[in-house]
Amino acid sequence: MSDLTATDAPGAPGSLAESANRFGSGSGELLLSLEDLEAVFETDDGVVQAVDGVTFDVHRGEVFSIVGESGSGKSVTAMTIMGLLPTVKVRSGSIMWKGQNLLDKSENEMRRIRGGEIAMIFQDPLTALNPVHTVGRQVAEMGRIHLDMSKKEAGERAVEMLGLVGIPEPRKRAKMYPHEFSGGMRQRAMIAMAIMCEPDLLIADEPTTALDVTVQAQVLEVLVDIKDKIDSAIMLITHDLGVVAGLSDQMMVMYAGSQVELGTTDEIFYSTAHPYTEGLLNSVPDLLSDHSEPLVPIKGAPPSLINRPSGCAFHPRCPYARVPGVCSDTVPTLRDEGHGHLSACHFTSVDWTGE
């Protein structure tokens, strides 16, 4: 590694989008397009750079995954899209939804889009659901607000949605409260609420957290079935690479608020182009590997987003950062590795693997 030389970077993500047929482009309608989004929090300790120059597209019919450790900026990116974090300040960039910039929308206009066109399935359904209202009433509320349904119409549609996501005896269950549901059923109820208005985009933030493996598979199957039935797209936020491998069409890996790798799921899994992604994959058990081989964790901990490391934010933990004045001093830009596969590393995978 001592004799490595940095490869030429092509420029900013915007120029890559043009030269590499813009990441995420597919046969479906372009729904969501983020361009160089930068969002920060202001705290007593300093400015938190939560999202730093994120660019990607989501098309109708696809599953787009955002992967990374806790604190990498996955959920903040989603919340910024939804306009649910009033303390976040967007410094630059755009969030284009069907050709219109959501950052220019008023709060009343965003209320119409939230739930009606873009719906979110939150990480913890027990805290997301109101404990003093029945599940049916909460699901029905979406129809009354966004579809101008009567109370009876919304109630009937809520029962229909609960049945659609696989909840048994939906009419009976609609009269129950969240604490009377199991974890898997609460998550299904959240999905029912999200699809009540048949939105074009479902944002699923860690939808299988705290669920056992069998229930995880059922919930994910419901999500994909619903996507196909209502012809929508899914943005899946997760740290579970097993879930991504089984569901995702496109994916983005985030670290310290920045995107470090983007591409099709197959490209990233089988032609990994960033050391951080390699570290994530190496820390996951492989059923086909020699079980005597120990897992290889990523050394260290994610950096503070207030005092980020200079240069490449991953360099203090990177096993290949051995070139003085490059990794520690220069921020890498996204480079096209081929086939629209983008990586924010100073070196190619051949450089740091020797293969």
Examine the domain organization and report whether 227 and 307 are in the same domain: yes
CATH number, residue 58? 3.40.50.300
Examine the domain organization and report whether 253 and 280 are in the same domain: yes
- Mark which of 146, 165, 198 sits at the end of a domain: 198
Examine the domain organization and report whether 232 and 271 are in the same domain: yes
Does residue 228 lie within any of the structural domains?
yes
Examine the domain organization and report whether 186 and 167 are in the same domain: yes
Say what the pLDDT of residue 135 is.
Answer: 96
**Considering its fold, how many domains does the chain have in total?**
2
- Sheet of 89-97: strand order equals 46-59, 30-43, 89-97, 100-101
Query: Which range of residues forms the domain containing residue 53?
Result: 13-117+199-286+293-353
Say what the pLDDT of residue 240 is.
Answer: 84
List the pLDDT tens digit at each of the 355 positions of the chain. Answer: 333 444 443 333 333 334 333 444 445 899 999 999 999 989 888 899 999 999 999 999 999 999 999 889 999 999 999 999 888 999 999 999 999 999 999 999 999 999 899 999 988 888 889 999 999 999 999 999 999 999 999 999 999 999 988 899 999 999 999 999 988 899 889 999 998 999 999 999 988 776 777 788 888 888 898 899 889 999 999 988 888 988 899 999 999 999 999 999 999 999 999 999 999 998 887 766 666 677 788 999 999 999 999 999 999 999 888 766 788 889 999 999 888 899 999 887 766 665 5
- Mark which of 198, 216, 247 sits at the end of a domain: 198
Which runs of consecutive H residues, i.e. helices, occur in 36-150?
A: 74-82, 107-116, 125-128, 135-146
Beta carbons within 8 Å of 17's beta carbon, 6+ residues apart: 23, 35, 55
Say what the pLDDT of residue 3 is.
Answer: 39
Say what the pLDDT of residue 276 is.
Answer: 95
Beta carbons within 8 Å of 136's beta carbon, 6+ residues apart: 155, 158, 159, 162, 173, 174, 175
Say what the pLDDT of residue 261 is.
Answer: 96
Tokens of 61: 């019919």
Say what the pLDDT of residue 25 is.
Answer: 42
